[in-house]
Structure 1
Amino acid sequence: MGGSQKGNCSGLPLSLVVIGGLLYKEERTVDYWNYIAENVNSAVSKASDHDKSPDILSLSYNHLPHHSRACFLYMGVLPEDFEIRKSKLTKLWVANGFIKPRKSKSLEEVAEEYLKDLIDRNLIMVRAWSCSGEIRSCSIHDLMRALCVIKAKEEKFLKVVNSDVDQFPKVTDNLRHVSIHKDFKYQSTRFSLEQDHDSPVRSVIFFCRNSPNYISLHFITSFRLLKVLDALAIRFDEFPVEIVELFNLRYIALTYWIKNSFPASISKLCNLETLIVNPGKFREVFNTSFLPLEIWEMPRLRHLLFVRSFLPYPSDALNGGNLVPLKNLQTLSNVVNFRWTKEVLEMMPNLKKLVISYEHDGRTEWSSYCFENFVYLHQLEILKCFFVAKSYLKYQDPLPVNIAFPPELKRLTLSGCRIAWENMSIIGSLPKLEVLKLKDHAFEGAVWEPIEGEFSLLKFLLLEETDLEHWNVDETHFQSLERLNLKYCYNLVKIPSEFGEHLTLQAIELYECSPSVVASAESIKEEQKDYGNDKFQVVVKYERSDV
């Protein structure tokens, strides 16, 4: 189901794929298959000669489990051919209340199961995979999207506002979800969603081109039931404080130039679960979000995502106030110069993904940030740490070697740590690590010699901007490695020839590496072929010439 198939046999190839997905997921008995065949024949006979696919595709929707129908119909909010990240899609489903809770799993985990079920049924397409083999992004075929829009209209579920001709639904339409795809041709355009009476709408999401500088939020008093406001496609000049009156909001996504701190009144949103802020084109000096102390009064928060933010320490927050642990917080991205004290760890016991950055000023000791306490983030699976020196410093101190990581960690990105390769065991010993990205001299030194048994489950390894010269590997190292990426490894002499015997390896990608590194990769490719691994690839981008 790669691209559009509208022009081929009136959508029949897609219909066949969808029917295949239906048969794959349901009962594998002769009686059931005959039942599906009768339904397909009936749909074909009722359909017009020129357009047989809608009725056939409807079979897949009619056989969906009831709990998955809202998730599928919500795909109709997307523009044609739009690619959406899995993480965002599942957050939207959770915020809208489409996901039924289970005792043993988080709502996000259940949402991912719903998504995989829809993919198995060939109703949603995977567009990209992560380096660890997980779904990164997905989309919906344009014919399936048309089906979503039709079914959603029948069930008063969704309206798509495409142009100036389309109007925001009236209160009497009793619609639950609205997706706005307007193309604003003038930067001064004002767009208002004002309603005369209380609206039943639960979510509003914008997919706008040439977005206006201003959107009217005078509609607030009419949207008391709103759960989701995704306005990343709209540029705000300042934080729209009116939204703090929407007490039912669970999901907010905004793009604005952050000139001031978040208002303390944001804590009035006692049901808020996801807060996403993008500074838009101002991604350098003026992109820092200053969160208020009152953020520690919002126990339902699950995901905080920023390009760059300062988070106040709990000890600074509201003496004698309503300070509560953020036990539901799973994602925190990206906080700057934050100290991981015991107090903080107790406030975020269920954190699963953490993105942090630190700026070395030449005065503050790295040890004051308590990196050794990372090990107590028992639920953490994804960690990204970036370390940079202030522009006036010529040298950045290396991180202390007592840095420690939690055993549940699956994906780790480090940048600018300047730790000696001799201390790599703090990472190599992690029992569940699958993805490792080392950037901008994360580790330093001329020689790396892994210890036997390290990196036993590692699938993806990236080395970027390193002074490494000699990398000594034997058959006991990296036994699960599937992809190796090397970027700007100017000093590296060669890739260890032992990788030629690692039959799990699928590809080596090189970016600005020396001819000797490229030659060693080609030699590994030939050895892989000798072992029957014909699918092994070497991708070379911008080979560096020896001077």
Structure 2
Amino acid sequence: MAESAVSFLLNHLSEWIGHEKQLIGSLGENAEFIRDEMGRMRAFVRMADEKQEVDPLLKEWLNQVRDIAYDAEDVLDKFVLRFPSRRRDGFSGRITQIYASVKNLKTRRRLASEMHAIRSRVSRVLEGQQRYRDIYGGASGREYVRDETALWYDGRGDALLLEEAEVVGIEKPKKQLIEWLSSTGRTRGGLKVISVVGTGGLGKTTLVRKVYEDDASVKTLFSCHVWMNVSSSFKLDVFLRTMIRRLVGEVKQPPPQGLETMDADEMKEFVYKFLQSRSYIIVLDDIWRLDAWEAIRYAFPRSGTRGSIIIITTRFQSISHTASIESNGHVYSMEPLSQEESKTLFCRKAFLGSSCPSYLEEIAGIILNKCEGLPLAIVVIGSLLATKNNNIEEWRKFHRSLGDELEGNHLRGMTRLLSLSYYDLPYYLKSCFLYLSIFPGDRSVYMLRLIRLWISEGFIQPKEGKTLEEVAEDYVKELFNRSLIQLEETPNYDRSIRVRVHDLLHTMIISKSREQGFVTIANSSQDTQWPANKIRRVAIHGSIEDMAGIKGCQHLRSVLVLDNVNTLTAITLSDFLRNLSKLLKVLELRGTLSSGKIPDEVFKFYHLKYLGLKYSKVKSIPRLIGKLENLETLDLRNTQVTELPVEILKLGRLRHLMVYNLYIRNRGYHPFDDVHSCRIPYRIGSLSSLQTLSDIDATRADVDTTVVKEIGKLTQLKELGVMKLRQEDGKDLCTSLAKLTRLETLHIASSQEDEVLDLLDPVSPTPPIRSLELRGRLLLLHGLTRLLLRWSRIENNDDDPLEHLQNLPNLMYLELSHAYQGDGICFKAAGFQRLKKLWLIRLEGLESVKVEEGSMPVLRELYIWGCKLVGEAPSGIEHLSDLQYVDFSDMSDGFVAKLEKQKEEEEAGNLQSFEMQISVRNLRSFEMRISIDNLRALRCNIRR
């Protein structure tokens, strides 16, 4: 974590010195010294970050380095804050403005003195660095290699911790792996690579060990068997020598002469020749680096008398897929234990095989839920609880102090296992991963929200040819690749929009965050431990009225109110904000304000980059908003703001402006006016950095002028929502859309329910839109993955209403709501080949739905709501072999009667089994459960 702080400071210093050096004299000299010395120190800091667990003095030295980096950053930002007039255009103009605004040198001298003091502290920690170099050895850049004996944890001990978990939940994956082994071992299929991938503690090594030791599947199929531990400390020459010794030991031969002096290429050649005439199975356990696989892959022959197998275990998705795909092999993704399997294993450990006492069931369930099916966690925690003699008070005490227990001796092995992945992260990902500790552990967070916060915090490093948002998405993918986060599937099946962390990993990173002063969690239901060191970030999971400990924290950079239990008046919030540091960069106040006014104190945070007011009762944005010149994200969703002042145009760095209010009267239904949009200044096109703009009015209130033409100037836009469009706006809108070559999400709606949107004007080039919500005429784009047609009211004629949709090659989500007035819809063969989710909502004239064989082959979910004239379930539904969920709601009495009749039949069409349950209370609800291959549930709700 210290490396992250140092690296961020170096980037900040380099940029700042380049712009300000000629203005600040000795301040610049000291800044250059700090930059150069901290740069030379960074490589050693990287090594020290890993070794601090075994050396408390080294940990303290790292804390000093981190504090220096933070303090230097504060001095730089104070300079910008004290001399705001330097922001004027033109270099010479800025010089004049600075010296004209400084009436005395008191502030200037104080800043220079602070920087000089930091320089002195850097000199002192350099002395400490030299002492630790003598102990641990030097390290710089790529010359640094981990010393396995010096690390505090040996990853190869994982299997030992999981031995007793082997009989729970292992049958299915073992059967699958043995099937793959057998099919390869009995053929001349050449080499196959099987990868077993999953987060630490899922039991990968245990599973593969049990397969490897299976006499029938391994011993008789392969003539050569070797198990190799790779781990994060991989060294090529050591690995190859060990492998050679084990290979020749299999045939009871001595190692080759000169083995100790062979180089890597000679050893790989020996391995290749030795295996060339044999069928072999080699396990490479715990691979951490793709380059480790690349270094050894060609040592294994690709053909032999019979098929051969390499089994890889890894935490990294990229390694598993890269290694297996080139041999047309297999990837097995380890899954957590089911609830039933978890309970069985837990009882076996906590109660020595007996059942859970009734008085412990509730607390046992809570603790077990924390484990989330992780076998390692269940075994270790269950074993510890077995020592509590079934004392309920001891169990409750353990649960309350679970975070501290993870740091204790009893659970240290498991904590170190989880921490190993954290310490392996590159510096730029450590901050991003720790940032997830800010959010409550029992919920996920929207990926786009997380990305915007990362950018505002300064965690994202620019890359040529990519926006910061695209780089941040790469960071998310890398954390997922390392099995550190989970991604939740989205409704459009195109990209994951929610991110979450395993509960125990979350507990671990909260501990790391607290230990390193990264974030303080303030919870009004518990006593908050305000750290003695400098607080940088505060996440409030309660009421901010109780957060007295924040007062006077002059180094605070971020305040996030995530679960405020009480809304606040502007006066109360003003008192709270008045005590915050003026260097604040992130202010998230969602759901906090109970009055319509934003306190003036908000607009004194010049460095503010992120302002979140979602779900608050704000009614207007004052003209003071123009003072927040560094603002990048303004989140006004679901507020009562209906118009933005012209001063918003001063925010030249604004990247994301979300300002709509979504209003749904009945859950599941979308009335025409469910989105309340916002009026914006006409010259919105001057905000050239905007990537998100949703949802805005197409016209202004004071004059009948459209902003549709201005939209075409926002060439960085990726998401756009425009409401209240008129028919005559169609041509200008198409012209503007043609210029938005990065646009991915588009929401457009007409001004009135009966107004037709004329979007037939050709759009070229077509933007790469993936999600389209349209209330008007259809705009066809082949890049669509998600399409919502609401209130389009396509008329019934000879043309098939689905003709233009069924061939869209990437469409995965389709919603038709008040969108069609015909009496029948037919999903034709070979249509909608990638569609996974289908909604038909209130199609008032619809009488029948037909599905031809070959249509929608991968459809998973089907929803038909409020189609009162539909008399029976879709014809041909049995062709949907991938269907998993069906939901009929608000259907007619005839529909219900038809299903009742089907229930009485022994077989219903091609249905393999049919089961219906009806709760009768004036027949207000109707539920049907049905089993067709993969179909899991069919639910019908009838409302009158």
Is the pair's TM-score, using the shorter chain for normalization, greater than 0.5?
Answer: yes
Q: Which amino acid aligns with 1:138?
A: V
Instruction: Check conservation: 1:288, 1:310, Cα contact below 8 A.
Output: yes
What does the per-residue CA deviation read over 1:215-240, in whole Å, with 9 as the maximum and x for residues that have no partner?
Answer: 43354585233221111141241123
Which of the residues 552, 574, 586 maps onto 1:217?
574
Instruction: Check conservation: 1:193, 1:216, Cα contact below 8 A.
Output: no
Secondary structure at 2:709's aligned position in 1?
helix
Looking at structure 1, the residues matched to 591 and 517 of structure 2 have their Cα atoms a distance apart, in angstroms, of 25
TM-score, normalised with respect to structure 2: 0.46
Looking at structure 2, the residues matched to 477 and 396 of structure 1 have their Cα atoms a distance apart, in angstroms, of 33
> CA, structure 1 residues 264+477, in 2 after alignment: closer, same or farther (shift >3 Å)?
farther
Instruction: Check conservation: 1:102, 1:110, Cα contact below 8 A.
Output: yes
Instruction: Check conservation: 1:160, 1:181, Cα contact below 8 A.
Output: yes
Instruction: Check conservation: 1:383, 1:411, Cα contact below 8 A.
Output: no
> CA, structure 1 residues 488+387, in 2 after alignment: closer, same or farther (shift >3 Å)?
farther
Looking at structure 2, the residues matched to 102 and 244 of structure 1 have their Cα atoms a distance apart, in angstroms, of 31
Secondary structure at 2:476's aligned position in 1?
helix
Looking at structure 1, the residues matched to 910 and 494 of structure 2 have their Cα atoms a distance apart, in angstroms, of 23
Does residue 464 of the first structure (1) align with residue 841 of the second (2)? yes
Which of the residues 532, 536, 540 maps onto 1:180?
540
Q: Which residue of 1 aligns with 2:785?
A: 410
- Return the offset for 1:96: 1.5
Q: Percent identity?
A: 25
Q: Which residue of 2 aligns with 1:345?
A: 711
> CA, structure 1 residues 476+107, in 2 after alignment: closer, same or farther (shift >3 Å)?
farther
Looking at structure 1, the residues matched to 537 and 546 of structure 2 have their Cα atoms a distance apart, in angstroms, of 21
Q: Which amino acid aligns with 2:839?
A: L
Does residue 438 of the first structure (1) align with residue 816 of the second (2)? yes
Which of the residues 453, 469, 475 maps onto 1:108?
469
Aligned residues: 492
> CA, structure 1 residues 51+169, in 2 after alignment: closer, same or farther (shift >3 Å)?
closer
- Return the offset for 1:246: 1.7
Q: Which residue of 2 aligns with 1:310?
A: 678
Q: Which has the higher contact order (CA 8 A, sep 6+)?
A: 1
- Return the offset for 1:368: 3.6
Looking at structure 2, the residues matched to 430 and 340 of structure 1 have their Cα atoms a distance apart, in angstroms, of 32
Q: Which residue of 1 aligns with 2:686?
A: 324
Q: Which residue of 2 aligns with 1:320?
A: none
Looking at structure 2, the residues matched to 336 and 83 of structure 1 have their Cα atoms a distance apart, in angstroms, of 32
Which of the residues 188, 194, 200 maps onto 1:18?
200
Structure 1 gaps of 5+ residues are: 1-8, 281-286, 318-322, 359-363, 390-394
Alignment of 1:237-386 (within 5 A): 237=595, 238-254=597-613, 255-260=615-620, 262-279=621-638, 287-306=640-659, 307=661, 308-312=676-680, 314-315=682-683, 324-329=686-691, 331-337=692-698, 343-358=709-724, 365-368=726-729, 372=734, 376=738, 377-385=740-748
Secondary structure at 2:630's aligned position in 1?
coil
Q: Which residue of 2 aligns with 1:6?
A: none
- Return the offset for 1:397: 4.4
- Return the offset for 1:73: 0.9
Larger mean Cα displacement after TM superposition, 426-435 or 161-170? 161-170
Q: Which residue of 2 aligns with 1:536?
A: 935
What does the per-residue CA deviation read over 1:489-515, in whole Å, with 9 as the maximum and x for residues that have no partner?
Answer: 222244553453344444332223323
- Return the offset for 1:355: 3.9
Instruction: Check conservation: 1:431, 1:455, Cα contact below 8 A.
Output: yes
Which of the residues 192, 198, 202 maps onto 2:557?
202
Does residue 71 of the first structure (1) align with residue 432 of the second (2)? yes
> CA, structure 1 residues 346+163, in 2 after alignment: closer, same or farther (shift >3 Å)?
same
Which one has the bigger strand percentage?
1
Instruction: Check conservation: 1:90, 1:112, Cα contact below 8 A.
Output: yes
Secondary structure at 2:680's aligned position in 1?
coil
Looking at structure 1, the residues matched to 489 and 828 of structure 2 have their Cα atoms a distance apart, in angstroms, of 34
What does the per-residue CA deviation read over 1:30-85, in whole Å, with 9 as the maximum and x for residues that have no partner?
Answer: 33278798x99xx99x9623654323322221122322111111111123423322
Secondary structure at 2:440's aligned position in 1?
coil
CA radius of gyration, larger in = 2
Instruction: Check conservation: 1:177, 1:202, Cα contact below 8 A.
Output: yes
Looking at structure 1, the residues matched to 909 and 681 of structure 2 have their Cα atoms a distance apart, in angstroms, of 53
Looking at structure 2, the residues matched to 536 and 502 of structure 1 have their Cα atoms a distance apart, in angstroms, of 9
Instruction: Check conservation: 2:862, 2:885, Cα contact below 8 A.
Output: yes
Secondary structure at 1:275's aligned position in 2?
strand
Looking at structure 2, the residues matched to 223 and 22 of structure 1 have their Cα atoms a distance apart, in angstroms, of 48
Q: Which amino acid aligns with 2:476?
A: L
Q: Which residue of 1 aligns with 2:458?
A: 97
Q: Which amino acid aligns with 2:625?
A: I
Instruction: Check conservation: 1:209, 1:233, Cα contact below 8 A.
Output: yes
Q: Which residue of 2 aligns with 1:55?
A: 416
Structure 2 gaps of 5+ residues are: 1-160, 166-197, 206-226, 235-284, 289-375, 385-406, 662-675, 700-704, 761-776, 915-930
> CA, structure 1 residues 525+486, in 2 after alignment: closer, same or farther (shift >3 Å)?
farther
Q: Which amino acid aligns with 1:382?
A: T
> CA, structure 1 residues 382+304, in 2 after alignment: closer, same or farther (shift >3 Å)?
same
Q: Which amino acid aligns with 1:290?
A: E
Looking at structure 2, the residues matched to 276 and 444 of structure 1 have their Cα atoms a distance apart, in angstroms, of 38
Secondary structure at 1:270's aligned position in 2?
coil
> CA, structure 1 residues 406+353, in 2 after alignment: closer, same or farther (shift >3 Å)?
farther
Aligned-pair RMSD on alpha carbons? 4.3
Instruction: Check conservation: 1:18, 1:121, Cα contact below 8 A.
Output: no
Q: Which amino acid aligns with 1:536?
A: L
Q: Which amino acid aligns with 1:446?
A: D
- Return the offset for 1:466: 0.9
Larger mean Cα displacement after TM superposition, 267-276 or 425-434? 425-434
Secondary structure at 1:267's aligned position in 2?
helix
> CA, structure 1 residues 148+448, in 2 after alignment: closer, same or farther (shift >3 Å)?
same
- Return the offset for 1:177: 1.5
- Return the offset for 1:452: 7.6
What does the per-residue CA deviation read over 1:241-283, in whole Å, with 9 as the maximum and x for residues that have no partner?
Answer: 32222222221111432333x2233233222222112456xxx
> CA, structure 1 residues 258+113, in 2 after alignment: closer, same or farther (shift >3 Å)?
same
TM-score, normalised with respect to structure 1: 0.75
Looking at structure 2, the residues matched to 227 and 517 of structure 1 have their Cα atoms a distance apart, in angstroms, of 61
Which of the residues 578, 584, 597 maps onto 1:226?
584
What does the per-residue CA deviation read over 1:312-363, in whole Å, with 9 as the maximum and x for residues that have no partner?
Answer: 2535x6xxxxx6243441x3333345598662332322333334444xxxxx
Does residue 158 of the first structure (1) align with residue 158 of the second (2)? no
What does the per-residue CA deviation read over 1:99-143, in whole Å, with 9 as the maximum and x for residues that have no partner?
Answer: 233334443333333334334444334466435164343333443
Looking at structure 2, the residues matched to 212 and 272 of structure 1 have their Cα atoms a distance apart, in angstroms, of 24
Looking at structure 2, the residues matched to 397 and 59 of structure 1 have their Cα atoms a distance apart, in angstroms, of 60
Instruction: Check conservation: 2:886, 2:938, Cα contact below 8 A.
Output: yes
Which of the residues 886, 889, 896 maps onto 1:515?
896
Secondary structure at 2:634's aligned position in 1?
strand
What does the per-residue CA deviation read over 1:279-333, in whole Å, with 9 as the maximum and x for residues that have no partner?
Answer: 56xxxxxx34311233344343222223233232535x6xxxxx6243441x333
Q: Which residue of 2 aligns with 1:3?
A: none
> CA, structure 1 residues 473+299, in 2 after alignment: closer, same or farther (shift >3 Å)?
farther
- Return the offset for 1:205: 0.7
